[in-house]
A and B are shown apart, each in its own frame.
Chain A
Amino acid sequence: MWVLDVISRWAIPFLLFTIPLVGLFKGIRVYETFVTGAEQGFITAIKIIPFLVGMLTAIGVFRASGAMDYFVDFLSPLLQLLHFPPEILPLAIMRPLSGGGSLGIAAELIHTYGPDSFIGRLASTMQGSTDTTFYIITVYFGSVGIKKYRYAITLGLIADLTTLLAAIFITNLLFPS
């Protein structure tokens, strides 16, 4: 774990140093090249905004209205049959929709039940395990103007569901409650 920690802390400074250094050795005008590339960043970020506004507004309305809470209440009896702790359900539903929202729920679960409780460990694993599917899809497709997503959402949600089941399985196995 110590090695991983060092790698994650050094990766970005290492790249910031190594890439321009290699460039200089190859006779590239590093600063001018940097600026040419950076220009592209501005355009791309602006292009994403309409897509983000559309998606985040729909998700925001769904959450604030309380519709998400009803959805959770509706599903929880079904999940209890599967020995799925209902406390974790809001997190499971929020995870693919909103990174900030799910981080808030995970932090709250960890503080309420304790980081070393079963629910705390499960919430930690779930939060760290998938990315925010809808955000990724909106931003990535938005940046190139793609409006028809083919089967990308289905694929993302299948992966999210598998991840959720794997998180429950491994947490049960390694940290039996």
Chain B
Amino acid sequence: MVNVIWFILLGAGIFTAALNGKIEVITTAALNSAKAAVNIGFELIGLMALWLGLLKIAEEAGFVNFVARIFKPLTGFLFPSIPKDHPAMGAIVMNLSANILGLGNAATPLGLKAMQEMQKLNQNNEEASEAMCTFLGLNTSCITLIPATIIGIRASAGSADPTEIVGTTIFTTAVGMLAAIVADRLLRNTYRKKKRW
């Protein structure tokens, strides 16, 4: 699916630009985007190093295991394919907690750590495992308690009550997360059947 989407984005873009007679836009956009992507990667280095360093201490001190144990019933239900005491569970819980608190920058390194742990359990190293799909579903639609950036923008635009959208955001993200959990189960079963036939 990603191959088709990727090509459609590129193809539709180039086709549109050609029809409008401004094909040179494509070259600029492509080169600038590639440069921006590398910048994002470089910006991630510092963040990743900081959080993975801290996480390593937390791991050796038994902190990650402790957090994982508290959420065991929930994570056991969501990730049946991961053994209960696997380090992946700890990383998953830490990542989702960071997301819930709206700590986007801290969430990414923790999420990548969780992916590395899940990859160790994965049988096919090039294809996503079921646990990974569940994890990404939860990550893109996680309950958010504090949408900090948007509150800042509302305040700067002179809102009478910048935080009044916190309630709507909590409701919306809760519905989204629930939908992700249900859809994940359905897609997982459909995909399994498709593979068998």
Cα separation A110 to B55 with both chains bound (whole Å): 38
Best-buried of B45, B48, B187 by chain A (most CB within 10 Å): B48
For window 74-108 of chain A, which residues contact chain B by CB distance below 8 Å?
Answer: 96, 103, 106-107
> Is the beta-carbon distance between A148 and B13 smaller than 8 angstroms?
no
A112: nearest residue on chain B (CB-CB)? B157
> Is the beta-carbon distance between A110 and B157 smaller than 8 angstroms?
yes
> Is the beta-carbon distance between A150 and B48 smaller than 8 angstroms?
no
A150: nearest residue on chain B (CB-CB)? B128
> Is the beta-carbon distance between A45 and B41 smaller than 8 angstroms?
yes
For window 20-37 of chain B, which residues contact chain A by CB distance below 8 Å?
Answer: 20, 22, 25-26, 28-30, 32-34, 36-37
> Is the beta-carbon distance between A156 and B48 smaller than 8 angstroms?
no
Count of B interface residues, CB-CB < 8 Å:
114
**Interface size, A (range):** 35 or more
> Is the beta-carbon distance between B168 and A174 smaller than 8 angstroms?
yes
> Is the beta-carbon distance between A156 and B127 smaller than 8 angstroms?
no
Best-buried of A45, A48, A71, A143 by chain B (most CB within 10 Å): A45
> Is the beta-carbon distance between B128 and A152 smaller than 8 angstroms?
yes
CB distance from A20 to the nearest CB of B (A): 6
Q: List 22 interface pairs A-B (beta carbons < 8 Å), by A numbering.
A: A8-B102, A15-B106, A19-B61, A37-B55, A37-B57, A37-B59, A41-B49, A42-B49, A52-B38, A65-B14, A107-B153, A107-B157, A124-B147, A124-B150, A127-B147, A129-B172, A131-B142, A146-B126, A155-B183, A158-B183, A159-B183, A162-B180
CB-CB nearest 4 A-B residue pairs: A37-B56, A128-B147, A60-B33, A41-B48
| A binding-site residues for B, Cβ under 8 Å | 1, 4-5, 7-8, 11-12, 15-16, 19-20, 22-23, 25-26, 28, 30, 33-42, 44-46, 48-49, 52-67, 70-71, 96, 103, 106-107, 110-111, 114-116, 120-121, 124-133, 136-137, 139-141, 143-156, 158-160, 162-163, 166-167, 170-171, 174
